[in-house]
Amino acid sequence: MTNAAGKVNLLGLTKAQLENFFESIGEKRFRAGQVMKWIHHFGVDNFEAMTNVGKALREKLNQHAYIAGPEIVTQSISEDGTRKWVVRVASGSCVETVYIPQNGRGTLCVSSQAGCALDCSFCSTGKQGFDSDLTAAEIIGQVWIANKSFGTVPAKTDRAITNVVMMGMGEPLLNFDNVVSSMNIMMEDLGYGISKRKVTLSTSGVAPMVDKLGEVTDVALALSLHAPNDELRNKLVPLNKKYPLSVILDACTRYIAKLGDKRYLTVEYTLLKGINDQPEHAEQMIALLQDVPCKINLIPFNPFPHSGYERPSNNAIRRFQDMLHEAGFNVTVRMTRGDDIDAACGQLVGNVNDRTRRSERYIAVRQLEDEKRELSS
């Protein structure tokens, strides 16, 4: 990403991209490691602070590059320790990042788009439509901001952020290249050194891109399922009309098979009172997932204004969980965290100008772009 002066933002560059950048300005490739460590381990955004970089190179960097994350608009802290940042991106829209501390683990939920085109009926983000893809700098910048806020620099010392989930605003697989680059920085030792098992990408079911993901990375995968049959899922997750359950589960199973090493798919299922929380839905889910290596994460619905949905009773949640347990599945119920600051799952809403509202149009355009790339490769 370049600014008006033609300078390159180094924050969003992978190690390989940084090496290419240094070659392009007539410098040795090893400089990439030095600068990357300053940016991500120490949170530095000023070349003058890079004490092992010579003065002449610092001056050259100031001429050709800069380091900048998204603008922090607000930071909120919940009574349970959950934190939420609202940050403004280049499009002018705001997106949200959430940090969830639990049982000695710190999970950062990162956004990949401003708004979302998929319009899942129970998700507040989907109600605002799609505005823009985030750049790699805007995605990894959320990790950079959160890490610095805890004062845990170097990044691998007394680490507050142990896990990252691409489960914030947007569909990560519809911003493929920027999301993959950002995840590579998360896992890079000169970046944040987070294990591939602790970086998770969550998708609503863009099946062709799941296969493409398996060609370039081996991060953990989560599927936002939310319904055990196509008829219901078509209503809750409109993308299902294009990629029905059989298609997306086959793609996810292929991805997990490539990983090997006893890896599994995380299945996310938001429980909606009277909609998808009945015993027959549990029975259908058992049949649907019987041959899929997975663990199931049940998410009681987190209310937001005008959603039209309600949270099931604790008895209904427990009954659903017990049925899955008895069928041999590993099932957890996600504890609601940060709902007092609207940071709970499904509640993220940024200040987004609704430019499309037509998920089918957006997805069709992105697929056409992907097909063009495949034909030219």
pLDDT at position 79, please? 86
Segment (H or E) for 269: strand 265-271
Instruction: Supply the mean pLDDT for the chain.
Output: 88
pLDDT at position 356, please? 39
Q: Tokens representing 300?
A: 């009681």
Do residues 87 and 18 both lie within one domain?
no
DSSP result, 130-142: EEEEPPHHHHHHH
pLDDT at position 122, please? 86
List the one residue out of 335, 229, 244, 306 whose CA is nearest residue 275: 229
pLDDT at position 160, please? 85
The CATH number assigned to the domain holding 301 equals 3.20.20.70
Written as one letter, the residue type at 245 is L
pLDDT at position 372, please? 41
Do residues 13 and 159 both lie within one domain?
no
The residues annotated as belonging to the active site are: 96, 345
Estimate to the nearest angstrom the gap between the alpha carbon of 369 and the chain centroid. Answer: 22
Does some domain include residue 341?
yes
pLDDT in tens, the chain (377 residues): 667 578 999 999 999 999 999 999 999 999 999 999 999 999 999 999 999 999 999 999 999 999 999 999 999 998 888 999 999 999 999 999 999 998 889 999 999 999 888 988 888 776 778 889 999 999 999 999 999 988 755 555 556 899 999 999 999 999 999 999 999 999 999 999 999 999 999 999 999 999 999 999 999 999 999 999 999 999 999 999 999 999 999 999 999 999 987 899 999 999 999 999 999 999 999 999 999 999 999 999 988 777 889 999 999 999 999 999 999 999 999 876 545 545 445 444 554 444 433 344 344 444 445 544 444 44
Q: Tokens representing 63?
A: 């001429």
Cβ 67 vs Cβ 10: under 8 Å: yes
Q: Are strands 83-88 and 71-77 parallel, antiparallel or unpaired?
A: antiparallel
Asked, as a colleague might, if the bond just before 244 is cis with ω within 30 of 0, I would say: no
Q: Is 18 exposed, middle or buried (0-12, 13-18, 19+ CB in 10 A)?
A: buried
pLDDT at position 142, please? 97
Q: What's the number of domains the chain is made of? A: 2
Rounded CA separation 89/72 (Å): 9
Q: Tokens representing 101?
A: 């501390």
Do residues 56 and 180 both lie within one domain?
no
Do residues 45 and 133 both lie within one domain?
no
pLDDT at position 274, please? 97
Sequence-ordered list of residues with C-beta below 8 angstroms from that of 37, at least 6 positions apart, any chain: 190
Q: Which of 26, 43, 66 is the last residue of a domain?
A: 66
Does some domain include residue 252?
yes
Q: Tokens representing 111?
A: 């956004």
Do residues 21 and 112 both lie within one domain?
no
The CATH number assigned to the domain holding 62 equals 1.10.150.530
For residue 9, the cross-strand partners are 66
DSSP result, 192-223: T---GGGEEEEES--HHHHHHHHHH---EEEE
Do residues 22 and 145 both lie within one domain?
no
Do residues 249 and 177 both lie within one domain?
yes
Do residues 278 and 209 both lie within one domain?
yes
Q: Tokens representing 47?
A: 């070349």
Q: Which of 35, 66, 97 is the last residue of a domain?
A: 66
Do residues 32 and 134 both lie within one domain?
no
Rounded CA separation 11/182 (Å): 10
The domain of 77 spans 71-369
Does some domain include residue 57?
yes
pLDDT at position 305, please? 77
Do residues 161 and 234 both lie within one domain?
yes
Main-chain dihedrals φ then ψ at residue 240, nearest 5 degrees: -60, -25
Does some domain include residue 90?
yes
Sequence-ordered list of residues with C-beta below 8 angstroms from that of 252, at least 6 positions apart, any chain: 210, 221, 223, 265, 292
Cβ 115 vs Cβ 129: under 8 Å: yes
Q: Is the four-CA dihedral 96, 110, 177, 181 of positive or negative sign?
A: positive
Does some domain include residue 327?
yes
Q: Across the chain, which distance is largest between two alpha carbons, in Å?
A: 69
Sequence-ordered list of residues with C-beta below 8 angstroms from that of 251, at least 6 positions apart, any chain: 207, 208, 210, 211, 243
Written as one letter, the residue type at 344 is A
pLDDT at position 152, please? 53
Do residues 167 and 20 both lie within one domain?
no
Segment (H or E) for 266: strand 265-271
Does some domain include residue 374?
no
Rounded CA separation 7/55 (Å): 19
Does some domain include residue 315?
yes
DSSP 154: S
Q: Tokens representing 37?
A: 């460590």
pLDDT at position 353, please? 43
Do residues 17 and 125 both lie within one domain?
no
Does some domain include residue 62?
yes
